[in-house]
Every structure is written in structure tokens, then in C-alpha cells.
């Protein structure tokens, strides 16, 4: 396998693929001395060769890759057992297959319970009256034996199902998984159309909420997938994750297991001031920072003001900035403000390194380490 590291220059033979694909420009930093990922990790499949951009956590490449996968699974709440992970052959599959299979399985399980239908309004020229008679259009009706009608029809051809069909068509380029094809067959009466995933406005309610999970997984895959242009007929792609986002969601979901009152991205508006800390527990506000700092001298003034503002406005005077320990060990205690406006700020780091003990045991170990942070 070919291993690459975040924030380190990629090999020269890969540079041309990055330069030729503008969709990757936001993920890579281009300098005179080379090109390197900007806190981005994930998978590059180029001309049938797999490259893994991984975080520097352990001294072993495979340990780094496994920990990265474990963090992703927990961050995005993907349920997969140790047995399934063990059966997954790294040498035969692209790692995006994890996500495509997961999406396909949960979507197919819901489709077996019934496909989502909605009422849609249609206008047609019919032989018999159906629904509302359209007076004005019937004046201009050249088919005198027909009646122009407007009616509601309970149909599977709706926005949510069109999105699923669009996602399936794309995923089929990268996977031959059987459940993916079974899902496509269920949508045979859905009209295929291109979907702008940045303009989706699908609302979930009691009638379609069971499809929210496969929708979220499909959307995450599509947003992180970048097809690569090349001169061969192979299916090259990049599937990259922002490590700041992964670290935040990973830590946040573990805190939710520790404290049932934990909320993530808890937004509050104070007039024109919008506040949204990463993690709010019963007695602490935590912001995760996937960056390199040595001690409190490296702490930006902006971060101090941010945590002070959180503490005052949320009424929780214990705050913490949490960093990954694999970059550097951090352990600082600060006081922001005085007297009744005092906010305590801790700068701590969490060790993400662990021997390959399997996914479930790894999550338990990190859970224990977070509980021990004082």
C-alpha cells in the first residue's frame, strides 16, 4: 500500500493529478517546494493505485490508517462491528467501499419496509375527469374528446427518491455491491435527474424520517468525493476528510456517551452575536482544535475571547480547548476575567495513539482517556 501523510509533500508523480483537478485545490497547499494536503486525510485512487493520506499518530503506517478509520466511523456514527472490519480486505477494496456498503445496506433495509411516497400535483389531458377541471385550458384543448385535469397522485417520483437514485448512479461507478443494484431497481419508476447537493431542501417528518440516516450518509459521501480527470479509462477519485471536522465530531460523540446532557454545535443568538461551541456538557464547554500548539504562549487572543464569551453567555465558567496529543502534549490552566466574570480555561491534549485492539476496544480506551482529563 502507498502511504502519504497530512502536511507532508506528496510524491512528484502525483502532483500532476492534483494540478489538473481544480476541485482538489481547496484541499492541498501548493508551494514552490511541492504540494501537500492541508489537514486533509483520506483516499486517492489514481489509475488503479490506492494512496492513503493519514494523520501522524503512531509510528506504524497500518496503525495510523486503522485509527483514522476508527475516528471516521465514530465521528459519522457509522455502525460496523469488529467482525465486519476484520473481514474487510484492505488490498482488494477502496476504502470508500465502507461508506457505499453502509449506505446501501441501511437504505435497502428501509426500502424493504416500503418506498417513500408523496402526493404530487399533475396536469394531464385525460379521457375522463380526474380531480379538478381546468376551464381555461379546456377552451384551448385541441383534443376534443379529452379533458384537461389537475389532480394529486401518490407517487414515488419525489425529491427524496430522486436524490437517492442520483447518489446510486454515482456510487455504481466505484462499487459493484449487490445491495446498491437492488436499491436502484426499486427506484425504476423514479425520473433520473442531476441533483445540486448544495441546494437540497429536503425536510424530514414522521412520514419519511426513517430515510434520514441513509440520506445523511449519501450526502457526506457526495460532498467528500471528487472524481479526478485523467487520460485513462480508469475511475480515479479523491475521497478526503477535513481532520478538524473529524476530530471535532469524534470527540463530540464520545462526550455524548460520557454525559447524556451533552449537545454538539449548540447554537445560541444574543442579538447580533451568534455563539456555537463545539461541545457543551452539563458542566463544561469544550472546543476542539486540530492544530499545533506547545503551550499557552501559542494561544491566540481570538481563542481566549471566544472561550470567555462562551463561558459568560452560556453560564458555564469551566471551559477547555482540546488538542490531539499526537501533535504535542499540552497541559495549561488559565483564568480569563476576574471576580464574577471569571472563566477558567484549560488547554489539554488527548492521546489518540493505541495498539490495534479493534474498533470497539479503541473507542472504550479513548472514552477512558477523556474521563481522566482533569
Q: In Å, how far from its chain's centre is CA 215?
A: 11
Q: Are 173 and 187 in contact (CB under 8 A)?
A: no
Measure the CA–CA gap between 48 and 114, rounded to whole angstroms: 38
- Ordered per-residue pLDDT tens for the chain, 374 residues: 688 888 888 888 888 888 888 878 888 888 888 888 888 898 888 877 888 888 888 777 778 888 898 899 999 988 776 666 666 555 445 677 888 988 999 999 999 999 998 877 777 776 676 666 665 676 666 556 777 777 777 788 889 999 999 999 999 988 889 999 999 999 998 989 999 998 888 889 888 899 999 999 999 999 988 887 664 555 778 888 999 999 999 999 999 999 999 999 888 887 778 899 999 999 999 999 998 888 888 899 999 999 999 999 899 999 999 999 876 789 999 999 998 899 999 999 999 998 777 888 899 999 999 999 97
Helix (H) or strand (E) holding 61: helix 61-75
Q: At 222, give phi and psi (nearest 5°).
A: -65, -35
| Dihedrals phi, psi of 308, to nearest 5 degrees | -65, -45
Q: How far apart are the two ends of the chain, measured CA to CA in Å?
A: 40
Number of Cβ within a 10 Å radius of residue 143:
11
Q: What is the CA radius of gyration of the chain?
A: 25
The domain ranges of the chain are 2-113+159-243, 118-155, 259-372
The model carries a pTM of: 0.82
Amino acid at each position: 500500500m502507498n502511504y502519504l501523510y497530512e502536511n507532508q509533500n506528496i510524491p512528484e508523480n502525483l502532483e500532476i493529478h492534483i494540478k489538473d483537478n481544480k476541485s482538489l485545490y481547496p484541499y492541498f497547499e501548493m508551494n514552490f517546494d511541492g504540494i501537500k494536503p492541508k489537514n486533509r486525510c483520506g483516499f486517492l485512487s489514481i489509475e488503479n493505485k490506492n494512496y492513503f493520506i493519514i494523520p501522524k499518530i503512531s509510528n506504524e503506517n497500518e496503525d495510523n490508517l486503522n485509527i483514522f478509520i476508527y475516528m471516521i466511523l465514530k465521528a459519522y456514527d457509522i455502525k460496523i462491528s469488529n467482525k465486519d472490519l476484520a473481514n474487510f480486505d484492505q488490498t482488494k477494496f477502496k476504502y470508500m467501499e465502507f461508506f457505499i456498503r453502509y449506505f446501501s445496506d441501511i437504505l435497502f433495509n428501509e426500502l424493504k419496509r416500503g418506498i417513500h411516497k408523496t402526493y404530487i400535483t399533475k396536469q394531464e389531458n385525460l379521457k375522463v375527469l380526474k380531480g379538478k377541471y381546468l376551464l381555461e385550458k379546456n377552451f384551448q384543448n385541441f383534443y376534443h374528446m379529452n379533458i384537461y385535469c389537475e389532480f394529486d397522485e401518490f407517487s414515488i417520483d419525489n425529491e427524496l427518491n430522486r436524490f437517492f437514485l442520483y447518489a446510486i448512479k454515482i456510487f455504481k461507478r466505484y462499487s459493484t455491491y449487490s445491495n446498491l443494484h437492488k436499491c436502484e431497481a426499486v427506484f425504476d419508476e423514479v425520473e433520473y435527474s442531476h441533483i445540486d447537493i448544495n441546494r437540497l431542501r429536503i425536510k424530514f417528518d414522521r412520514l419519511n424520517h426513517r430515510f434520514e440516516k441513509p440520506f445523511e450518509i449519501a450526502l457526506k459521501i457526495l460532498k467528500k468525493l471528487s472524481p479526478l480527470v485523467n487520460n485513462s479509462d480508469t475511475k480515479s477519485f479523491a475521497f478526503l476528510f477535513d481532520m478538524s471536522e473529524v476530530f471535532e465530531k469524534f470527540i463530540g460523540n464520545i462526550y455524548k456517551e460520557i454525559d447524556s446532557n451533552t449537545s454538539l454545535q449548540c447554537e445560541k443568538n444574543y442579538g447580533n452575536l451568534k455563539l456555537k461551541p463545539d461541545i457543551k456538557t452539563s458542566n463544561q464547554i469544550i472546543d476542539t482544535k486540530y492544530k499545533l500548539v506547545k503551550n499557552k504562549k501559542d494561544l491566540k487572543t481570538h481563542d481566549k475571547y471566544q472561550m470567555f464569551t462562551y463561558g459568560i453567555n452560556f453560564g458555564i465558567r469551566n471551559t477547555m480547548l482540546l488538542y490531539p496529543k499526537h501533535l504535542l502534549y499540552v497541559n495549561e490552566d488559565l483564568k480569563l476575567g476576574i471576580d464574577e466574570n471569571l472563566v477558567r480555561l484549560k488547554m489539554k491534549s488527548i492521546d489518540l495513539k493505541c495498539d490495534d485492539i479493534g474498533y470497539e476496544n479503541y473507542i472504550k480506551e479513548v472514552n477512558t482517556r477523556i474521563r481522566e482529563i482533569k
